Structure 1
Amino acid sequence: MKEIKFQFEDLKVYQKSLDFVDIVYKVSNTFPKEENYRLTSQFIRAATSVALNIAEGSGDTNPQFSRFLQIALGSVKECVVCVAIAKNQKYISIEEENNLRERLEELSKMISSLQKYLKNTND
């Protein structure tokens, strides 16, 4: 059976963003149940938004893709705040906080690099 694949699925930044979503689901499962419609929901939506915007913008014009990548960067920043809140509320350990922040930093750098590449190929 033939594998159906979209071009954006080959982007490393997209693959890393999906990995991050998996981690957020796993980590947020340990949050108290009363957080389901608060922090847990917001954290999952923000993490998912990173991958969704990378996918949605790919294949469009470079300026349009760059705009979607900017939205993805905003979602990365939302995730940073969710991590800080989770740490402050003692829902995650220092180790988990560091791991999440490292992954967010990597995503941020990859998205920014892709934006620069798109800008340079557009000039």
Structure 2
Amino acid sequence: MKFKFEKLNIWQKAMDFGEEMHSVAQSFPKSEIYNLSSQILRAGDSIALNIAEGSIFQSKKEFHKFLGYSIRSLAEVVTCLHKAKRRNYLNEETFIKHEAEAFHLMNMMIAFKKTID
């Protein structure tokens, strides 16, 4: 038996992306444990969590609201990636890879959100 959200491609991709951000955060210096590491971990996990939470509502309006939270969390992760790159915690290649994945996930979420109007 599966929950409805487990079948959603955006939830599956968000789960994978959150795990990637976990790995990224672990590579940051210990001095960032309560700052940038914590922020990227929470925002990265929040993407999938909000998709799951929103999917339980019968109301399209509520699901839209939670998809919006997921999209904002993804934007927060991208900002954390930029911060990490500026602080030289990520090289250019790693940054570009994760930013591209984030961009793809963002487009998937926006497209999905339009389908439930």
Per the normalisation by structure 2, the TM-score is: 0.96
**What is the CA-CA distance between 1:39 and the residue it aligns to?**
0.2
Aligned ranges 1:10-89 → 2 under 5 Å: 10-60=7-57, 61-89=59-87
The alpha carbon displacement at 1:55 in A equals 0.3
**Post-superposition shift, 1:50?**
0.5
Residue 90 of structure 1 aligns to a residue in which SS? Answer: coil
Match of 2:34, as an amino acid? Y
What is the RMSD of the two structures over their aligned residues, measured on CA atoms?
Answer: 0.8
Alpha-carbon offset, residue 27 of structure 1: 1.2
Amino acid at match of 1:81: T
Quote the sequence identity (%).
37
Alpha-carbon distance, 1:104 to partner = 0.7
C-alpha distance in 2, partners of 1:93/1:19?
21
Q: State the shift of 1:83 in Å.
A: 0.4
Q: Is the 1:87–1:97 contact (alpha carbons within 8 Å) kept by the matching residues of 2?
A: yes
The answer to whether 1:101 aligns with 2:99 is: yes
CA contact (8 A) 1:50 1:76 kept: yes
4+ runs of 1 displaced by more than 4 Å? none
Q: Structure 1: which 5+ runs fail to align?
A: none
Uncovered stretches (5+) of structure 2, i.e. residues with no partner: none
Residue-pair matches, total = 116
